[in-house]
Amino acid sequence: MFAAVGRSPAEEAGPGPKQWASARHGGANDGRPRLRSRLSYRSPSLSACRCPLTQPLRELTPLEARVLGVLVEKQRTVPDTYPLSLNALTAGCNQKTARFPVMSATEAEVLTAIDGLKRLSLVMDASSSRVTRYEHNMNRVLGIPSQSAALLTILLLRGPQTAAELRLNAARLHGFADNSSVEAFLEELAARTPALVVKLPCAPGERENRWVHLMCGEVSIDEVAAARESAERSAPSGEIEALKAEQQRLGEEVAHLRALVERMAAELGIPVDRPARD
């Protein structure tokens, strides 16, 4: 059981070396996170009074998990537009990139998910706005530091990930020094009672384990693998071609800007270090 309480600066900074070592070896836990998660939380209004009352946190629906992940992501990546309106939140849920699985939720469905999250204190209405906006309260409700919140958010939005993939995809939310630091925070989340994430066995042909969140409850390894294979097979060819074209356009734009900078530097007599090429 865990509760939302005020965290000290040291706690917000994340686990120290001893805590990392404990997380890697399971600590007092046997090191095997449970596959079914029943979370608990303390209402933010009660935590301010240091009230010991706790309530069970039910498993989230897939859309509730998506809404929560989008709010955490957009808070860090587009702070100027955060908190989010219903329209912006729906658009974030239905993104075609950086999402697994891809969804096509309506505003009415997103609003229903918001209402469910509000009852868990995970989402709140933002004040001082003519248009209703929404903000998350995940860190406080779950009692996790920003590093763990970043990793959990990527798992909510992108599905199962390796530590290396999480480090890359979470870079805009938190910069991790290396893969071992990512593993340390993941193992800390997995060692909690109840667990928030679990490490999956290596899939055939893969060398690294993937991690998956347990916010929506029990996970099936076979179902996870089948879903990823289905998504890869069903990816629209037009969408793939569009991504390739966008990549090429960005590459040409970078090359143009580099040539411009080099020309200006040459006119000013400023040396420019060229990037190393493999």
pLDDT, one tens digit per residue, over 16-57 is 544 444 444 444 444 444 444 445 444 443 333 333 334 558
- Residue 4 is predicted with a pLDDT of 43
- Model confidence band, residue 216 (pLDDT cutoffs 50, 70, 90): very high
Distance of alpha carbon 258 from alpha carbon 265, whole angstroms = 10
Looking at the structure, give the CATH architecture of the domain made up of residues 9-218. Orthogonal Bundle (1.10)
- Residue 10 is predicted with a pLDDT of 46
Distance of alpha carbon 44 from alpha carbon 138, whole angstroms = 11
Collapsing DSSP states into helix, strand and coil, what is residue 147? helix
Q: Which is more confident, 277 or 156?
A: 156
Distance of alpha carbon 132 from alpha carbon 86, whole angstroms = 7
Average pLDDT on 82-98 reads 95
Distance of alpha carbon 30 from alpha carbon 27, whole angstroms = 7
Selection from 176, 181, 71, 221 nearest residue 134 by Cα: 71
Which residue do the tokens 């918001």 mark?
Answer: 114
- Residue 31 is predicted with a pLDDT of 47
- Residue 276 is predicted with a pLDDT of 57
Q: Average pLDDT over the chain, rounded to whole?
A: 79
CB 179 within 8 A of CB 172: no
Distance of alpha carbon 88 from alpha carbon 80, whole angstroms = 12
CB 72 within 8 A of CB 153: yes
pLDDT, one tens digit per residue, over 93-142 is 999 999 999 999 999 999 999 999 999 999 999 976 688 999 999 999 99
Provide the terminal-to-terminal Cα distance of the chain, rounded to the nearest Å.
50
- Residue 257 is predicted with a pLDDT of 85
Distance of alpha carbon 76 from alpha carbon 133, whole angstroms = 16
Distance of alpha carbon 141 from alpha carbon 126, whole angstroms = 17
- Model confidence band, residue 223 (pLDDT cutoffs 50, 70, 90): low
- Residue 24 is predicted with a pLDDT of 42
- Residue 230, pLDDT above cutoff 80: no
- Residue 269, pLDDT above cutoff 70: yes
Structure tokens at 203: 């899939």
- Model confidence band, residue 247 (pLDDT cutoffs 50, 70, 90): confident
Average pLDDT on 151-169 reads 96
Collapsing DSSP states into helix, strand and coil, what is residue 133? strand
Q: Which is more confident, 258 or 42?
A: 258
Selection from 93, 97, 229, 100 nearest residue 155 by Cα: 100
Pairing of strands 123-125, 55-57: unpaired
- Residue 139 is predicted with a pLDDT of 95
Domain boundaries defined on the chain: 9-218, 236-278
Which residues partner with 133 through β-bridges? 85
- Model confidence band, residue 227 (pLDDT cutoffs 50, 70, 90): low
Pairing of strands 197-199, 123-125: unpaired
Which residues partner with 57 through β-bridges? 39
Residues of the chain with pLDDT > 70: what percent? 68
Average pLDDT on 178-183 reads 96
Q: Which is more confident, 8 or 116?
A: 116
Structure tokens at 16: 């120290």
CB 186 within 8 A of CB 211: yes
Selection from 207, 249, 248, 192 nearest residue 19 by Cα: 192
- Residue 218 is predicted with a pLDDT of 84
Query: What contacts 190, CB < 8 A, 6 or more positions away?
Result: 33, 196, 197, 198, 199, 211
- Residue 2, pLDDT above cutoff 50: no
